[in-house]
Amino acid sequence: MTLLRPNLQSYQQYDQKELLALIRKDFLDFSLSHTTNGSSFELTLPNNTQVNILADGIIGFNLSNNSKEAKSIVLSCGVHGNETAPIEICNKLVSNILRGNINTAHRVLIIFGNLDSMTIAKRFVEENLNRLFSKEIESTSLEGKLAKVIMQVVDTFFEAAQGERLHYDLHTAIRPSKNDKFAVYPFLHGNKHSKEQLCFLSACDVNTILLSQTPTATFSYYSSYHHGAHAFTVELGKVKPFGQNDMSSFTSVIDSLTMLLTQSDLTLPSFSQCPIVVYAVNQVIDKHYDDFKLHFADDIANFTTFAKGEAFASENGMVYKAQFEGEAIVFPNADVAIGQRALLTVIPHAF
């Protein structure tokens, strides 16, 4: 795989003691400047926590814990390299585990997805990684090759799971949002949605949920469909450069994820006590032609509502309009590649 990270050094130059000391200092910084060269590394912390470095930017804890009581938890971030708040959140969690500040009670896999796009502070290098999580997609781009590596690691991780399987793929949105934190619940093919999981998200201050109505090639859908995981794409505010995030706004996220990792079970309020608003995706509007354009301002917020019949977008003589009064927009982006999603619209959904 072609790497953009400059002057990469190899993990192989360090003995176990040196390697452990370096990743405990800052795993993300170390990952950005080093490559595993396709090898994996097993280390042990002073508190006997097992550490597995499985690929560049991918670290596991207590993977050999195959008890039925142990959850198998995936936290992923940096699938888009400029979405920095989740990267900083996950790096904080990794640092706390590596330094012995917290002890994991479960099998944990933490993925820093696209290290190369982090280096250039871009959403991706060649191709949107979060549209490539499907074994049926053939892509030779940097992200296409990376998706295959990540899927293989996740397959191995979940195939060894005995207990509950969870995956929270953490992102930030390109635009501001009227609902600052929200999550996309992948299409479940008729299976039931988990109210307990929605209450956990509410504990993270994520109180707006979008129910996807179709299969996709997103990371969360992959874990949900192929491995039966409770999986979500979680949007935590707006894209900002590294160091410019107000981390105090993520206190509930960090605290709830820490409790998830360290406690055998969580005590959550009932669903009726969780202030959750649920939407269903109504329209998935893909870009088919170069003249595709959105019919609203570039700085319009996610969840802005439209009157029935108002135009959302147009291309090649076709106009996409609101089908319901109060239909709202999410993830508008006219700059996507031909054939990719340029806009979702959502409507309130009784849950």
**Positions marked catalytic:** 235
Question: What is the Cα–Cα distance from 55 to 36, expressed in whole angstroms?
Answer: 6
CA distance 326 to 183: 20
Q: Both tokens of residue 239?
A: 């894209």
Cα–Cα dist 217/245, whole Å:
29
Q: Please report the beta strands in the chain, taking only residues with DSSP state E, as ranges in sequence order.
A: 9-10, 34-35, 41-44, 50-55, 58-61, 72-77, 107-112, 165-173, 181-185, 208-211, 230-238, 277-286, 293-294, 305-306, 311-315, 318-321, 327-330, 341-348
Question: Is the Cβ–Cβ distance between 106 and 194 less than 8 Å?
Answer: no
* H helices, E strands: number in the chain: 8, 18
Q: What is the token pair recorded at 126?
A: 């060649």
